[in-house]
A = this chain, B = another copy of it.
Amino acid sequence: MTKNLYGGIEGGGTKFNCAVGSGPDHIVNEIRIPTTTPLETVEHICEFFALHMGQLHGIGLGTFGPADVDSASSTYGYITATPKPHWAHTDILGMLREKINIPFAMEMDMAIAGLSEAKWGASKDDSHSLYLTIGTGIGGGYIVDGKPLRGLTSLEAGHIRIPHDRELDPFRGACPFHDDCFEGLAAGPAIEARFGQRAETLGDAHPFWQIEAGYIAHALVNYILTLSPKRIVIGGGVMQNQFMFPTVRRKVQELMNDYIGHEMITKKIGQYIVPPALGSRSGVLGAIALIMDSK
């Protein structure tokens, strides 16, 4: 067996997607593992990769956060202050390395999804691109020249504060840290908490989607002004509603009010704020891209 493959793990709050391959046109095996306890989840991951052990150069891991992905830190590889039961302060990378003795690289889940879109997908020709997922959580990765931007820590842009009109939307917010931050107002669980039903069952015509699109547009405007991406790629369940992209784009233009006169915003916003090209695989492919490019 020759070593021409890479492993990718996209660790999320509800499932861990694992794959073996070398790009979007070459995935030889993949599996979806439910996120239960760290011990049980890691065991299932290791069983999957054991099938390919001699073939793998290494494994990339993208994890939900907050997590410590600074390789110089003493808690590198840990999921840190997550509200997710069982997972706070878990040394996920250490647990994997103990069982699988090949190179690993680790990043935030949102950053790796951005990596794959920047390497193979919707932002392939852009030096600066923002990837955002709006689903169970909201997070982003800003990819600059093929690498996720990271400073003091990795980005946690889903938790920014945005205007919240309590008359229009009296919901107090669902974020256990910040109540009505962007994620606390607009992620899937926040929608479910408002209506007692899952966001995808609300129906495309439900009036809340206008409010939701407004929150997303406010956050995008803040990201555009603060990061100045050349493209914004948005994945996640919430954007599946077919009215969301055009509505969000229109609201971004309204809020921006031509302040930044660049044609990508004033005229070509349909090419500026776009869905992922790699679909549901962008996360796991990003984990593969991460380990491929860490060589």
Chain A positions within 8 Å of B, measured between CB atoms, are: 66, 80-81, 127-128, 140, 144, 149-164, 177-178, 218, 221-230, 255, 257-262, 264-265
Contact = CB atoms under 8 A, between A and B. Distances in A.
B259 A226 contact: no
Contacts of A257: 177-178
Contacts of A228: 149-156
A260 B108 CA distance: 14
A55 B106 CA distance: 51
B81 A160 contact: no
Residue in A178, A218, A258 whose Cβ sees the most chain B Cβ within 10 Å: A178
A261 B66 contact: yes
A151 B158 CA distance: 20
A157 to B, nearest CB: 5
A225 B159 contact: yes
Contact of A161 (B154, B156, B218): B218
A292 B86 CA distance: 53
A177 B255 CA distance: 9
Contacts of A158: 225
Given A81-B259, A228-B149, A261-B80, A161 B159 contact: no
Contacts of A264: 152
A88 to B, nearest CB: 10
Given A154-B228, A158-B225, A222-B222, 13 more contacts: A66-B259, A81-B259, A128-B151, A151-B229, A151-B230, A152-B260, A153-B260, A153-B262, A157-B225, A160-B225, A161-B163, A163-B164, A226-B226
Nearest to A164: B163
A19 B225 CA distance: 30
Given A81-B258, A162-B161, A255-B161, A152 B229 contact: yes
A81 B149 contact: no
A222 B226 contact: yes
A83 to B, nearest CB: 10
A61 to B, nearest CB: 20
Contacts of A260: 66, 152-153, 156
A190 to B, nearest CB: 16
B66 A155 contact: no
Nearest to A126: B151
Nearest to A265: B152
22 contacts: A81-B258, A81-B259, A128-B151, A149-B228, A150-B228, A151-B229, A152-B224, A152-B265, A153-B228, A153-B260, A153-B262, A156-B228, A156-B259, A158-B225, A159-B225, A160-B225, A161-B218, A163-B163, A177-B258, A178-B259, A222-B222, A227-B227
